[in-house]
């Protein structure tokens, strides 16, 4: 005996409704795919590509090489060396559980580092160490601690040290000219940074470079008129003269008598521009250029040279310096004593106010 199942009208309608719903849904998906692939609407493939780029593609700066500063023979006075700045995303780092390990790698007291990390807990950027050597940076980055990154930069180095420090000047920690020639010619020296694009993952880490948007343009090099050999000699002799006389400061300039070019310019006391933590603001001032003072007797030879070149005087010409003083305007300029009639060469020797 067999039992034949009966199909009720309600059950049939349920099948029809569900089937129609599934067919309609599938049709909508097909239409949407067609729209996304070939449609010209604002939500086509270009739109999706832009949205994807906004979420995953980032740009980074390519640092430009700062131009050299050299002496007249090409000897380097200021050069840029590659370094790495280490930084961290505190929010990623705090969740890694490896904060103490990082402090040990950085040779920092753990308590001090944790306190600093706590102050930056709501931020996504914190410097760990600026301008580290590539070798030091590799040691830290090789630990692969989440939230720790490196940025390639350049650091200024001055081979001649304090011998030419006030003239050449310094840059700040970000590589911009701060004093001296570095500041005056900053726009020529600094160059133009480039830009590259990369893809980041969900944690914000760069996983693949896409390509260079624009190459970095190196800065121009600046060649000065000074001769580093003369600069060393002048620095040494000025330092010796200071020690012999007990002077607290001294300055000297050597010029090419034919062209007027500056061959050496020295100020003491000086400073070592390679030791940023020990910079003395007073010693950084180029007093030859910045300070104003009466030249006094240093201009007397210039006056007498002009007199000799006029042809009306020679070194044996007699000059009457009596009575030992002269009035210029409302000011009386005396000699130490009345020299009477003396030759031009004696005027120089005695530095006579009246004779000049």
Q: CA separation (Å) from 215 to 60, 94, 209, 345?
A: 12, 36, 14, 65
Contact by Cβ (8 Å): 324, 335: yes
Please give the distance of CA 4 from its chain centroid, rounded to a whole number.
93
Whether the link from the prior residue into 28 is cis, omega within 30° of 0, is: no
Which position has the token pair 């040691």?
Answer: 139
Comparing C-alpha atoms, which of 78, 79, 84, 77 is closest to residue 63? Answer: 84
- For the CA atoms of the chain, what is the radius of gyration? 38
* Angle between helix 45-56 and 9-38 (nearest 10): 80
The residues assigned a catalytic role are 297
Pairing of strands 206-214, 325-328: unpaired
Point out which residues pair with 152 in neighbouring strands.
84
């Amino acid at each position: 005996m067999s039992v034949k199942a009966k199909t009720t009208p309600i059950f049939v309608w349920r099948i029809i409704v569900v089937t129609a719903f599934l067919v309609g849904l599938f049709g909508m998906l097909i239409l949407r795919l067609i729209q996304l692939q070939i449609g010209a609407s604002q939500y086509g493939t270009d739109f999706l590509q832009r949205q994807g780029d906004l979420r995953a593609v980032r740009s980074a700066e390519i640092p430009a090489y700062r131009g050299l500063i050299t002496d007249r023979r090409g000897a380097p006075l200021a050069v840029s060396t590659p370094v790495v700045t280490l930084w961290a995303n505190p929010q990623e780092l705090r969740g890694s559980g490896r904060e103490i390990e990082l402090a040990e790698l950085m040779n920092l007291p753990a308590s001090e580092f944790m306190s600093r990390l706590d102050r930056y807990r709501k931020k996504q950027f914190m410097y760990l160490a600026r301008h580290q050597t590539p070798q030091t940076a590799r040691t830290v980055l090789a630990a692969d601690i989440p939230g720790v990154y490196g940025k390639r930069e350049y650091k200024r180095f001055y081979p001649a040290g304090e011998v030419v420090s006030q003239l050449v000047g310094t840059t700040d920690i970000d590589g911009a000219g701060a004093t001296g020639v570095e500041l005056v010619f900053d726009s020529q020296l600094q160059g133009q940074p480039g830009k590259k694009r990369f893809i980041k993952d969900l944690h914000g880490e760069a996983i693949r470079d896409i390509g260079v948007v624009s190459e970095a343009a190196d800065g121009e090099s600046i060649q000065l008129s000074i001769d580093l050999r003369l600069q060393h000699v002048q620095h040494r002799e000025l330092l010796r003269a200071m020690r012999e006389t007990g002077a607290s400061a001294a300055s000297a300039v050597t010029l090419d008598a034919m062209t007027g070019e500056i061959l050496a310019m020295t100020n003491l006391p000086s400073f070592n521009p390679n030791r940023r933590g020990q910079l003395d603001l007073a010693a950084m001032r180029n007093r030859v250029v910045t300070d104003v003072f009466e030249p006094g007797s240093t201009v007397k030879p210039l006056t007498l040279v002009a007199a000799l070149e006029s042809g009306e005087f020679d070194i044996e010409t007699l000059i009457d310096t009596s009575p030992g003083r002269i009035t210029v305007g409302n000011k009386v300029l005396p000699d130490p004593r009345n020299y009477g009639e003396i030759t031009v060469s004696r005027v120089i020797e005695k530095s006579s106010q009246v004779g000049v």
